[in-house]
Structure 1
Amino acid sequence: MHSTRTFCWPWFSLIAVLFLTSTAPVRALDHTPESTSTEPPTELVFRQPEASPIANFAVALLTEAYAEMGIRLRFVEMPRERSLNEANKGHIAGELGRIPTIDKDFEHLRRVDFPLYEAEMVLVADRRNCGLCSFNDIESFTYIGGTHAAEQVLAEHEVSKPNIKALSFEQAKLLYENGRVEAMLLSSFEAEQLECINNPYTIVVPFKRNTGYHFLHERHAALIPQLERILHRLARSGRVAQLMQEHDAQSLSMQHFMSLPQFGSVTLTAGHWPGYTNLDGSGYYWQLMREIFEPVTDDINFHSNSVNRAYRGFDEERFDALVGTVAVQVSDDTILSRTHINFDRALYLFAKQQDAISDTLAGALERPVCHVAGYQYEQLLPNQLKFYSVSDYLDCFAMLDMGRVGAVVAYEEDAPDWSESPYAKHKLRDGLPIHLAFHRNPRGYRLRDWFDRTFRLLVEERRIDQVYSQEMLQRAYFDTTPPPTSASATGSD
């Protein structure tokens, strides 16, 4: 596949971090092992965590708990891989948050029996390069040395792809952004620091989930019973939940289905796209929904509407999911499928003359810009323009020819051939990944996670080949050949 590099912007992960990385300079570490005196310490030293909602929460919680014991905490900067060795040698007091089995490899560390947070390792990549981006789909990747959860994932999946072990998060990020590797295997903590994470082309693939625990060196083992009692009391009192809220560290982890769930009746809506969401319940997308949801529902209902009615009905919670949307068109109380089901096409601005294109882009066009109702194309153009929505693209072009509107937002294939001279046009954006939208509530999360899990299996096991046409497989990057430059409807118009 052709290589594409994504540039992105900040994201706060739904899944909590497993590992805490260092950023801020602090006092140099004294490598002399701490005193073996039976007197309780007045200060404990740990590796400096990188600022994030979960890291800030963990620091605040442990700082408060240790303060009740008369112990203050100090943090020093060091690489993650070195940190474990230093903790195991007793040069620092322990580790703030690590996977629960880390003491098997570092025998001098003792676990504090209080789960701080749940976490997953995730693979971050550009879906235009690798589709759903499993390890089988990528050419190379990077991960941060000393990340034992990453090493567990690689061992369990028997990954042998070319990879670079980075010394730090910053180095891993640069390797990815500069095109040296195709993907990054990170904890969700690092993933939420990436600028690219909210870019619609970025895909985040969750892998092994662990629970993060606090560890102390064995010479501090006497502190553990009291620390555990304090942490459990803070949890019972609601203080832990309060600290999570104060640091915006709330999370809802991906569902792991041990058996087939049962969702009762599931009702789905979509715009009416011939061949994809036909009124009689046939079409590529409706067949895909049957493959995924029929095994876990008593009844499944399809509703093909105008795009505007589909969005309005979903917003009014009359449907469980909206099939066929892009990230820029959903509200804040909506969650998208992590996996995409297709890509739409490049979007264009059409006008009779090039001057009208220039005036539109400058926000100076006097006549309205026409588009199909339900799509938020206003976001792509200056907000001082006037907009007019219709139910069909051909109505827009007819009004453009009559001079009633000054420009049209549409796909290239939607421009009619009745004009004596070609329209002037300007590309507004490339094709975007098409998703399912679900409601941001417990049922919505479960439906979303079931869809992601099952759809990924359909693609990986190539059962998707019996549902999609070859052209769709190419356009969605589920095939190894590049997508076509022009295609028929993809469920986006």
Structure 2
Amino acid sequence: MRLFMTLLVLLVCFPAMAGQVYRISAFDMETAQSLVPIVVEAYRRIGITVEIVPLPGERSLVMANRGEVDGELARIPLIGELYPNLIQVPVSIGSYDGVAFSKSSVPPVQDWDDLRKYRVGVEIGVKFAETGTRGMDVVSFDDRRKMFEMLGVGKIDVAVHLRETGQAELRALGITDVYAHEKPLTLLVMYHYVHRKHAMLVPQLAKALEEMEKDGTMARLRGKEN
């Protein structure tokens, strides 16, 4: 009886340890997926099992903002302003270069203004690209691979995306005459977001991520262990 009561108290006090699973949406691209182990480990440390739900960029944000999933894997700080139901866990989990891609006929791009003379491809849901190219001659795509295909055949002049993701798409397509411009348009610092209904988890997740940074787990999971 005493053992039963002890187990009952544990289940009441730590419901996440009783098999609770949180569904976290994630942008379905290579760079976002590389952050999955970090977020999964942070939740594990506070006793929660995570299921990752890969989705197109905009749909991932909309579902997370509506509370149809419990959070969004990794996004830039701007997301908290655009999607008010999402709360940022204030510890960075990674960073990526946002760059321009083009053929060699386009001179080196130094800043956003250099794109104004071109037809620029942007994937819907990639917020840094949507924001940075506002007011330009933009062609929006809901299919990332199609965007790079169109860049390869000259239907657009430039595409804006994360360096690693764009390079992965070019490799998959076998396109060899398109390159990522060396100078980033921006550095994207990534944060995990939870739906406001889970606001009480933010301090716990922040502490877990801070501990992971200190003990080397985050560097190891990023594949940047010294």
Pairwise same-fold verdict (TM > 0.5): yes
- Of the three residues 166, 172, 186, the one matched with 1:191 is 166
Q: Which residue of 2 aligns with 1:139?
A: 118
- Give the corresponding residue for 1:44: 22
* Whole-angstrom CA distance in 2 between matches of 1:176 and 1:195: 10
Q: Is the 8 A contact 2:24 2:70 kept in 1?
A: yes
TM-superposed CA distance for 1:49, in Å, is: 4.8
Deviations 1:246-276 (A, max 9, x none): xxx58xxxxxxxxxxxxxxxxxxxxxxxxxx
- Residue 145 of structure 1 aligns with an amino acid whose one-letter code is I
- Residue 94 of structure 1: aligned partner: 71
CA RMSD of aligned residues (A): 2.6
Number of the residue aligned with 1:238: 216
**Whole-angstrom distance in 2 between the partners of 1:47 and 1:170:** 20
Shift of residue 119, structure 1, vs aligned partner: 2.3
Shift of 1:171: 2.2
**What is the alpha-carbon distance in structure 2 between the residues aligned to residue 242 and residue 147 of structure 1?**
27
Distance in structure 1 (CA, Å) of the matches to 2:151 and 2:128: 20
Q: Aligned letter for 1:160?
A: M
Matched, 1:103 2:80: yes
- Please give the secondary structure, in 2, of the residue aligned with 1:194: helix
Residue identity opposite 1:135 in structure 2: L
Structure with greater helix percent: 2
1:176-215 to 2 correspondences below 5 Å: 176-195=151-170, 199=176, 202-204=179-181, 205-215=183-193
After TM superposition, the structure 1 = structure 2 runs for residues 382-397 of structure 1, keeping only pairs within 5 Å, are: none
Alpha-carbon distance, 1:50 to partner: 4.1
Post-superposition CA distance 1:204-239 (Å, at most 9, x none) = 252022311000000011111111111111111111
- Other-structure match for 2:5: none
The two structures have a TM-score, normalised by structure 2, of 0.79
Task: Give the corresponding residue for 1:153.
Answer: 132
Q: Deviations over 1:303-359 (max 9, x none)?
A: xxxxxxxxxxxxxxxxxxxxxxxxxxxxxxxxxxxxxxxxxxxxxxxxxxxxxxxxx
- 1:126 to 2:103 alignment: yes
**Contact 2:98–2:184 (CA under 8 A) maintained in structure 1:** yes
Q: Is the 8 A contact 2:122 2:141 kept in 1?
A: yes
Query: Is the Cα–Cα contact under 8 Å of residues 73 and 193 in structure 2 kept in the other structure?
Result: yes
The verdict on how the C-alpha distance between 1:151 and 1:48 changes in structure 2, with shifts beyond 3 A counting, is closer
Kept after mapping to 1: 8 A contact 2:167/2:180: no
Highest RCO, 1 vs 2 (Cα 8 Å, sep ≥ 6): 2
Q: 1:170 aligns with which of 133, 137, 145?
A: 145
Q: Secondary structure at the match of 2:35?
A: helix
Are 2:83 and 1:116 equivalent residues in the alignment? no
C-alpha separation between the residues in 1 aligned to 2:129 and 2:29? 21
Amino acid at match of 2:107: G
Letter matched to residue 115 of structure 2: F
Unaligned runs of 5+ in 2: 1-13
Cα separation, 2, equivalents of 1:210 and 1:203: 16
Q: Tell me the SS of whatever aligns to 1:235.
A: helix
Which structure 2 residues correspond to residues 259-270 of structure 1 after superposition, within 5 A?
Answer: none
Give the corresponding residue for 2:49: 72
Residue in structure 2 matched with residue 356 of structure 1 by the alignment: none
For residues 393-442 of structure 1, the C-alpha deviation after alignment (integer angstroms, 9 at most, x for no partner) is: xxxxxxxxxxxxxxxxxxxxxxxxxxxxxxxxxxxxxxxxxxxxxxxxxx
Q: 1:222 aligns with which of 200, 213, 218?
A: 200
When the two structures are superposed, what TM-score results if normalisation uses the length of structure 1? 0.38
- Is contact 1:153-1:208 (8 Å) kept? no
**Aligned pair in 2 of structure 1 residues 229, 101: CA closer, same or farther (>3 Å)?**
same
State the secondary structure of the residue aligned to 1:193: helix
Mapping of residues 407-418 of structure 1, within 5 Å: none
Per-residue deviation, 1:189 = 3.7
Post-superposition offset of 1:192? 2.7
**Which residue of the partner structure matches residue 437 of structure 1?**
none
| Cα separation, 2, equivalents of 1:184 and 1:51 | 16
Q: Which residue of 2 aligns with 1:332?
A: none
Q: Which has the larger radius of gyration?
A: 1
**Cα distance change of structure 1 residues 190 and 237 upon mapping to structure 2, 3 Å threshold:** same
- Counterpart code for 1:148: K
Cα deviation for residue 160 of structure 1 reads 2.1
In 1, distance between residues paired with 2:26 and 2:78?
22
Counterpart of 1:206 in 2: which secondary structure?
A: coil
Q: Which runs of 5+ in 1 are unaligned?
A: 1-37, 251-493
Q: Distance in 2 between matches of 1:116 and 1:207?
A: 20
Identical positions, percent: 22
- Name the CA distance, whole Å, in 2 between partners of 1:66 and 1:84: 20
- Counterparts of 1:64 and 1:144 in 2: how far apart (Å)? 29
